[in-house]
């Protein structure tokens, strides 16, 4: 595709320079600094300071596809210089940020960063370290490095588990910290999140794929997979997914 080749070799700074040039064809090109920062939400800004254009982007967008970064550049520079932003860029950015996966990361980020610390692995009834190491021995030859492990703040049924690469943390829904909770369900959710440790996402042109073909294939190595999935479905009653 034609559009794609524009982005192929562009760094974020180059994308921003190009958009700056388009919006301000005659202005001097400032020095441009693009940084990714840990924000509680999707807060992102561009400002001019001492002739330098400072851009700070939420780290949720670190690794976002180039067309998304380009759209963001149009939106923020448009705002900064009071230039109208072509609808295409607004739509593209909004669509990306509204994807379920993105909404979920933002929600979890807020949960985690809003607090002083991550809950430890030890819950009221269950220790996640033990669950992790047991699965590690059984399925990964004990070779997976253990990330931070924690329980979610609430008994979430919407999100049963999540791997957060920016904190290298696996968060498990508190719903499983219960003697009544099915152990198979907990083990499956943990196993799924552990696969995220060894199967990095693929970055395509328009989207980031977390559950790659290899990931799904590896997941089929979990014994009683069907039973486990059914269990989770019942547990959630309504549609829910692990991420």
Instruction: List residues near Zn ion by CB under 5 A.
Output: 243
User: What is the DSSP code string of 74-97?
Assistant: HHHHHHHTT-PPPHHHHHHHHHHH
Nearest by Cα to 176 from 199, 149, 197, 195: 149
Judged by CB, which is closer to Zn ion: 152, or 243? 243
Judged by CB, which is closer to Zn ion: 23, or 169? 169
Q: How many CA atoms lie within 13 A of 147 on its CB side?
A: 21
Least distance (Å) between residue 225 CB and Zn ion: 14
Least distance (Å) between residue 37 CB and Zn ion: 25
Judged by CB, which is closer to Zn ion: 136, or 243? 243
The 3-class SS string of 17-61 reads: HHHHHHHCCCCCCCEEEEEEECCCCCCCEEEEECCEEEEEEEHHH
Judged by CB, which is closer to Zn ion: 75, or 175? 175
The length of the chain is 243
State the CB neighbour count (10 A cutoff) for residue 88: 11
Beta carbons of 135 and 191 less than 8 angstroms apart: yes
Least distance (Å) between residue 195 CB and Zn ion: 7
Least distance (Å) between residue 161 CB and Zn ion: 8
The residue number with the shortest CB distance to Zn ion is 243
Beta carbons of 12 and 59 less than 8 angstroms apart: no
Least distance (Å) between residue 196 CB and Zn ion: 6
Judged by CB, which is closer to Zn ion: 19, or 190? 190
């Amino acid at each position: 595709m034609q559009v794609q080749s524009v982005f192929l070799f562009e760094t974020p700074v180059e994308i921003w320079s190009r958009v700056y040039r388009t919006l301000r064809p005659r202005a001097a090109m400032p020095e441009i600094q693009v940084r990714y920062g840990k924000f509680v939400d999707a807060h992102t800004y561009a400002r001019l300071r001492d002739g330098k254009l400072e851009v700070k982007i939420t780290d949720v967008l670190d690794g976002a596809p180039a067309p998304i970064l380009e759209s963001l550049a149009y939106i923020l520079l448009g705002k900064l210089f009071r230039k109208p932003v072509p609808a295409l860029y607004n739509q593209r950015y909004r669509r990306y940020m509204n994807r379920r996966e993105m909404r979920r990361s933002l929600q979890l980020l807020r949960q985690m960063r809003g607090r002083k610390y991550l809950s430890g692995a030890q819950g009221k009834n269950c220790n996640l370290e033990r669950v992790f190491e047991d699965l590690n021995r059984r399925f990964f030859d004990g070779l997976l490095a253990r990330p931070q492990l924690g329980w979610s703040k609430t008994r979430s049924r919407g999100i049963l588990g999540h791997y957060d690469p920016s904190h290298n943390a696996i968060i498990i829904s508190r719903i499983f910290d219960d003697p009544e909770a099915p152990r198979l369900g907990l083990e499956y959710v943990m196993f799924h999140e552990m696969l995220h440790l060894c199967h990095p996402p693929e970055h395509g042109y328009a989207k980031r794929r977390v559950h790659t073909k290899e990931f799904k294939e590896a997941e089929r190595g979990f014994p009683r997979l069907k039973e486990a999935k059914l269990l989770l479905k019942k547990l959630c009653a309504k549609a829910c997914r692990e991420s």
